[in-house]
Amino acid sequence: MKFLEEIGEYFYFMLKVFSKPQKHSVFFKQWALELYKVGVDSIGIVVIISFFMGAVLALQAAYNMTNPLMPTYLIGYGTRESMLLEFSSTIVSLILAGKVGSSIASEIGTMRSTEQIDALDVMGINSANYLALPKIMASLTINPILYILSVFVGITGGLLSSVTIGVSSLQDFIYGIRMDFKPYFIVYSEIKMVVFAFIITSLASYYGYTVRGGSLEVGRASTKAVVNSSILILISNLVLTQILL
């Protein structure tokens, strides 16, 4: 019963979030700020994770190719397909759920517990819209770009590790990453990225906004935001893959 209540409360919150901003100039300013906080601040972690994921994927592919008849360009091919289809969208989104999700939940949660949200409400400002919409829109804008960056860095990581260690030549790896390329895979992953971005920011905003109490509750809201958005990302990944592929 409480679960159903929470779902209802979430949709009511979303209704308030997706109403017309009271002042468009303020909304665009907030959106630009959030683009920086949600996107630019996440570039570092996306680059590091993608690079090492790509590097390890390439080495694992090489390690599993026990048959000498298998061409080494398959290492590049396998790395590209894994990054393109799954790692750069799902794994990066799970990482962002931890970084961005907890940050949003604790930021809004602290504003709730210190009555800053009440202050906005007393001024007649739609606080849900003012606080959450710029974050959600910024995430929907920047996460697909982070995906492209992740794919690029991941494949570069795979290339560098396999060439440096000597499991594949540069030519073979490049041949592999260009082989049998299906542009639709990018569309599929970008759709996933947008859905995951919405899940991360909307859930985190909701849990932050509905905090009741002090710092302990803010911490709990932050944990709930990360755990529940991770679970929802995994479930929607399965559903979207079944629908789109």
Partner 1 sequence: MITIDNIHKSFDDHHVLKGISFEFETGKTNLIIGQSGSGKTVLLKSIVGLHTIDKGDILYDNRSWQEMTQDQRIELRTEMGMVFQGSALFDNMTVEENIGFPMLMYSKESTKAKQKRVAECIDRVNLTGSEDLYPSEISGGMQKRVAIARAIVMKPEYLFCDEPNSGLDPKTAIVIDKLIHEITKEYNITTIINTHDMNSVLQIGENILYLDKGEVGWKGDKSHIFNSENESLNEFVFASDLYQKLKEIKED
Taking the C-alpha atoms of residue 60 and residue 158, their distance in angstroms, rounded to an integer, is: 10
- Closest to 139 measured CA to CA, from 209, 48, 202: 202
Tell me, by CB under 8 A, how many residues bind partner 1.
14
- Return the range that interacts with partner 1 (CB under 8 A); candidates 43-51, 117-125, 171-179, 200-208: 117-125
- The Cα–Cα gap between 196 and 189 comes to 10
Give the separation between CA 6 and CA 18, rounded to whole angstroms.
18
Write the interaction track for partner 1 spanning residues 73-112; mark x where CB under 8 A is met and - where it is not: -------------------------------------x--
Taken in order 38, 42, 36, 216, is the CA torsion positive or negative? positive
Selection from 93, 95, 102 nearest residue 222 by Cα: 102
Q: Please, what is the minimum distance in Å from the beta carbon of residue 149 to partner 1?
A: 27
- Is residue 166 a contact point for partner 1 (CB under 8 A)? no
Cα–Cα dist 198/120, whole Å = 24
Smallest separation (angstroms) from partner 1 to the CB of 111: 8
Q: Which of residues 19-78 bind partner 1 (CB under 8 A)?
A: 22-23, 26
Min dist CB 123 to partner 1, Å, is 5
CB of 39 vs partner 1, minimal distance in Å: 18
Q: Name the residue among 24, 4, 22 with its Cα closest to residue 12.
A: 4
Please identify which residue in 48, 70, 119, 165 interacts with partner 1, judged by CB under 8 A: 119
Instruction: Round to whole Å and give the CA distance between 110 and 209.
Output: 9
Least gap, CB of 212 to partner 1 (angstroms): 11
Nearer CB in complex with partner 1: 33/244: 33
> Which spans of this chain sit near partner 1 (rule: CB under 8 A)?
22-23, 26, 110, 114-116, 118-119, 121-125
